[in-house]
Structure 1
Amino acid sequence: MAPTIFIIGVTGYIGGEVAVVFAEKHPEYNLVFLVRNSEQAKIVKARFPSSETVIGDLDSHDVLFEQGKRADVVLQTASADHIAVGESIIAGMAQGKKGHYIHVSGSGILHDVTNGFGNPSSKIYHDTSDLAAITSFDSSHVHADTDASVTAAGLKHGIPTAIVSPVTIYGVGRGPIKTRSLQIPFLTEAIIKRGKAFTVLEGNNIWDNVHITDLAEAYNVLTEEALKLNGGKSSWGKEGYYFVESAEHRWKDIVTELAKIAHQKGAIKSVEVEKLSVEDASAAHPWAPLLWGGNCRSRGDRIRALGWKPSARKIEEYLPEMVDFEIKSLGTQSSATTF
């Protein structure tokens, strides 16, 4: 019998790309998608005709509970900070097939400014040797409370859980609705609206990155393992934590490239990069200190041990298409005189 895969977040950036990869690689899967309304259902069904859609949201306990009962694998890709959705699904899974639950988090949990905003850190967290530290972070670390709740719910109900923690995701997605990531698009948008590129102070802080399709391939690898006897070679529960990264960048280097590209396309007047204080950067975007001011350095040892290998080109090669996407989204004319 074909496995039932319940995906929450198909209308989003990550979930949409995951659905594309699954449809390509595993047409035998019975894909079930959570959507908010009938309009979204029509769009998703048009893209994935053999799939099933159910209407609800992250607080629809009864819907989530029932779908949890049916699923062999659940992928919650919609929110890294919503506790109730995981609790509802995992409780349902315990009453059904007792499948595997995969939750999206983010490497922002590592956000490190011990050397000050805009300065690099040498600390790199491995999801193997540093697991105890990662899973014991307190609530001052974003996502930590939700990650802990997922693991606790899984242990309580006897459901194997895994946390997938992406880094800076780049590239335009192929999903049915949202195809835009967060960090670089928000940065590009802020630069264009401001009319000048900027870094948070020196901008020498470091993040990891991964292409959206490589990330979706990681979900594919983990799902394939989940469907094997006893979860295959994958780790679950207290050890079920997976960073997914392929390379790293300094934000200063990304901003410099974005400035060149945006200037070439007539979206800003010059290639100048201004160093902003934390306060001034926050005025450009309220999340600036978190998104572009600190360090988040990780190594995905566990997913690589399962055979995952990133294949996309470097992040810099995808920046032009991402800038084009933002210019189009903003309705920016290709003329610097608009600023």
Structure 2
Amino acid sequence: MTQIFITGSTGLIGSAILSQLVQRHPDFKIAALVRTPEKASSLKSLYPHVELEPVLGTLHDSTLLEKQAGRADVVINNRLLLPLLICNHPWPEKGSRTRQAKEKGNNNTPRYLRHTSGAFIVHQYGDRSTPAPKVYDDIEDLAEIVSLPDERPHRDVEKIVLSAHKTTAGLIHTAIINPPIVYRSNWSIHTTFPLSLPDLIKRFVAQGHCLKLGQGRASFSYVHHADLATVFMRLLDRALLNPGPSANPEDIDNGYFFVDTGFTELKDYIGAIDAALKSRGLIGAEAKEVSGPEEAERFHPYLCPTLCGHMRVRGSRARRYLGWELREDVGCGAGGGGCVG
């Protein structure tokens, strides 16, 4: 029986993946890392007819992580690493996940590591009065992406993941999935208000008006979390249906997968929020101009890094090699939750 070890299974991204996983493969044995007994109970009640074992622990429990990943054929890490929150924990988490996969691969049977990272690695600070200078493509720009400076967000973790294939003589197949802004929160069991949008709205309401940043030409890609989850399913199916060290070369070694269903500019994004809040009588004043990055960061710690630059990506790899296409996109506006990549 195929065994899966999944982290972040009650969050915005992980809950969408888990939902599709149990629907598509109800015969799989799944171990899901959760932090509390309440979350464990929620998972069991939500999926009573599949072999799902909630595993109580945290990303710091290296011994537990090694044990669970050592049993798994596929490790799916849905822990979205937010550099602004310093979520890149010290190396019990980082190193162990690759080490676990390596140990599982020692019996010469291919194993698979699917790691959720974020498109913030290609974030471009720049002039908010002009469109994005570059849209990063995960095929055309791969050479540049894999050689980005080490100080880039997520880069330290991604280098460890990418090295697993080489250091295990091809036994560990890795894929790094880099979503940009992830939106919608209706599938998340406990994460009712994902980072970024809802907190931004609360602050706008508290001060009675929205903010404007220059001409608002800063832009970012986005993806619906169900579409993102589908990429994980396509990768999983391709790996298990075509096992072997060279059966799916598109998702090993430098296997970056950007996932996008559209993009928006800041002026449209904030404009939609402004209109929605005014229509509900939550604010009345016109949006006020922010003087610069320092004021933006004082207002909201993620506003400037997330929205004062460009984060545009194109997911060509999933479309070309996995036959992926979007199904759920309804636009990234003020109606859904959002999480930075």
TM-score category, normalised to shorter length: 0.7 to 0.9
Match in the other structure for 2:225: 212
Distance 1:319 1:282 in 2: 21
Deviation track 1:20-70 (CA, whole Å, cap 9, x = no partner) reads: 111222212222100113222112211122311111111111111111111
Query: Would the aligned equivalents of 2:98 and 2:160 in 1 still touch at CA under 8 Å?
Result: no
2:84 aligned residue: none
Structure 2 counterpart of 1:280: 295
Secondary structure in structure 2 of the residue aligned to 1:123: coil
User: TM-score, normalised to structure 1's length?
Assistant: 0.87
Q: Residue 334 of structure 2: SS of its match in structure 1?
A: helix
Per-residue CA deviations over 1:189-225 (Å, capped at 9, x if unaligned) read 3322332111333221111111111111111111111
Contact 1:147–1:163 (8 Å) recurs in 2: yes
* Structure 2 residue corresponding to 1:116, chosen from 90, 110, 127: 127
Aligned position for 2:271? 256
Among candidates 155, 167, 171, match of residue 180 of structure 2: 167
Rate the CA distance shift 1:288–1:29 in 2: closer, same or farther, 3 A. Answer: same
Q: Distance in 2 between matches of 1:145 and 1:179?
A: 29
Alpha-carbon distance in structure 2 between the residues aligned to 1:211 and 1:294: 21
Q: Name the amino acid aligned to 1:240.
A: G
1:295 CA drift (Å): 0.3
Match of 1:215, as an amino acid?
L
Structure 1 residues 89 and 251, CA gap change in structure 2 (3 angstroms): same
Can you give the 5+ residue segments of structure 1 that lack an aligned partner in the other structure?
324-339
Q: Deviations over 1:68-87 (max 9, x none)?
A: 11111111011423454242
Q: Which residue of 1 aligns with 2:152?
A: 141
- Alpha-carbon RMSD across the aligned residues, in angstroms, is 2.1
Question: Distance in 1 between the 2:165 and 2:69 partners?
Answer: 12
Deviates more, 1:162-171 or 1:179-188: 179-188
Deviations 1:64-115 (A, max 9, x none): 11111111111101142345424213322223354100111111111112x4
The answer to whether the Cα contact below 8 Å between 2:293 and 2:304 also exists between their aligned partners in 1 is: yes
Moved more, 261-270 or 142-151: 261-270
Distance 1:99 1:71 in 2: 8
AA matched with 1:94: K
Question: CA distance change for structure 1 residues 218 and 153 in 2, over 3 Å: closer, same or farther?
Answer: same
Contact 1:169 1:209 in 2 (8 A): yes
Which ranges in structure 2 are unaligned for 5 or more consecutive residues?
82-87
Q: CA deviation at 1:119?
A: 3.9
**Paired residue for 2:329?**
313
Instruction: Check whether the contact 2:162–2:254 (CA below 8 A) recurs between aligned residues.
Output: no
Say if 1:200 and 1:288, in contact at 8 Å, map to a contact too.
no
1:263-304 residue CA offsets vs partner (Å, 9 max, x unmatched):
11222224x222212122111101211111100111111111
Relative contact order, higher structure (CA 8 A, sep 6+): 2
CA deviation map 1:126-153 (0-9, x unaligned): 1112111111111332111111121124
> In the alignment, does 2:201 pair up with 1:200?
no
Q: Is the 8 A contact 1:138 1:145 kept in 2?
A: no
Work out the CA distance in 2 between the residues paired with 1:302 and 1:322: 26
